[in-house]
Amino acid sequence: MKEVEITEIIIREYLGSLLRALDSDVIIAGGGPSSLVAGYYLAKAGKKVTILERKLSLGGGTWGGGMGFKYVILEENCLPILQELNINYTKKGEDLYAVDSIALASGLIFNAVKAGAEIFNLVSVEDLVVKDNRVKGVVVNASPIEIARLHVDPITMKANAVVDATGHDLEVVKVLLKKNNLKIFTETGDIVGERSMDVEEGERITLEKTGEVFPGLYVAGMAACACFGGPRMGPIFGGMLLSGKKLAEILVEKV
């Protein structure tokens, strides 16, 4: 029966993808812009990279531009990334370029998938595997189970490096600190927390702090900014793209 044949293909394909993802070079929690850029460059370098996104759609905060006006702004230092990914932009001011946020989100997703990143939507990272003072993997559940607060145990996936790219909420680092008595690589040993808006400083700190925050655990994008006490930067996305690229450069060497 054709209906069952269709169902069987879906189940077999999905299980194949899931089984392959159980042992990755890099697992990235969150599928926003920093994650997708990192996923693209890691996959392009031949690394086995898995992106786990809670929502149905990838792209995180890209789609809505500023206050729902669908444009985001980038600076000149991002143009090589946009050119490589074939995403259009228009010069609008001194070192300010406008990009249609729908073109940016879809372009980042398309390029990450095409390069070979394995992306799962509707999967939430709810905890970590921590052994010998090192993060060794993630604990995941289906988002509908998480959202319905059903009492269903999660499953696990292992990776040489896990990345918190969950944005402002910094969910993975938070759970690491909540469940384990340990310190991370910030000045305080704890999450410093995001500050009020300052575009230049926010982008600078995001890029500078992208990297390892605990053995085996890395931060990128707004998660890096919030972890180390940087200010938010709103609908300017250069810091996100450059953070993703920097993370990939670090991890290509390490994993």
The reply on whether position 31 binds ligand 48F by CB under 6 A is yes
- Retrieve residue 43's tokens: 């996959």
Q: Which is nearer to ligand 48F, 9 or 123 (CB)?
A: 123
Q: Applying CB under 6 A, does 34 fall inside the site for ligand 48F?
A: yes
Nearer to ligand 48F by Cβ, of 81 and 223: the residue is 223
Which residue among 49, 119, 233, 248 contacts ligand 48F (CB under 6 A)?
A: 233
Identify whether the C-beta of residue 125 lies closer than 8 Å to the C-beta of residue 52: yes
Pair 104, 131: CB distance under 8 Å: no
Q: Is 62 in the site for ligand 48F (CB under 6 A)?
A: yes
How many residues bind ligand 48F (CB under 6 A)? The answer is 30
Residue 169 C-beta: closest distance to ligand 48F, Å:
6
Residue 165 touching ligand 48F (CB under 6 A): yes
Residue 34 or 111 with smaller CB distance to ligand 48F = 34
Where helices occur in the chain by DSSP H, the ranges are 2-21, 33-44, 79-84, 101-115, 143-147, 171-179, 199-209, 222-227, 238-254
Nearer to ligand 48F, 140 or 184 (CB): 140
Please state, in angstroms and rounded to a whole number, the distance separating the CA atoms of residues 248 and 52: 16
Q: Tell me which H or E stretch contains 254.
A: helix 238-254
CB 11 to ligand 48F: min, Å: 23
- Binding of ligand 48F at residue 230 (CB under 6 A)? no
DSSP one-letter code for 150: -
Q: How far is the CB of 124 from ligand 48F (least distance, A)?
A: 4
**Which of 248, 34, 255 has the alpha carbon at shortest distance from 159?**
255
- Residue span binding ligand 48F (CB under 6 A) among the ranges 109-117, 153-161, 189-197, 226-234: 226-234
CB of 73 to ligand 48F, least distance (A): 10
Of residues 104 through 163, those in contact with ligand 48F by CB under 6 A are: 124-125
- Considering the rule CB under 6 A, would residue 195 count as an interface residue with ligand 48F? no
Q: Which two tokens stand for residue 104?
A: 């940016």
**Contact yes or no for 34/5 (Cβ under 8 A):** no
**Four-CA torsion 240, 241, 247, 253, nearest 10 degrees:** -170
231: contact with ligand 48F by CB under 6 A: no
Task: Find the radius of gyration of the CA atoms of the chain.
Answer: 18
CA–CA distance from 5 to each of 16, 19, 215 (Å)? 16, 21, 45
- Out of 21, 24, 49, 60, point to the residue binding ligand 48F (CB under 6 A): 60
Cα 190 from Cα 87, distance rounded (Å): 38
Q: What is the binding site for ligand 48F (CB under 6 A)?
A: 29-35, 52-55, 60-62, 124-125, 165-167, 169, 171, 221-223, 232-234, 236-237, 240
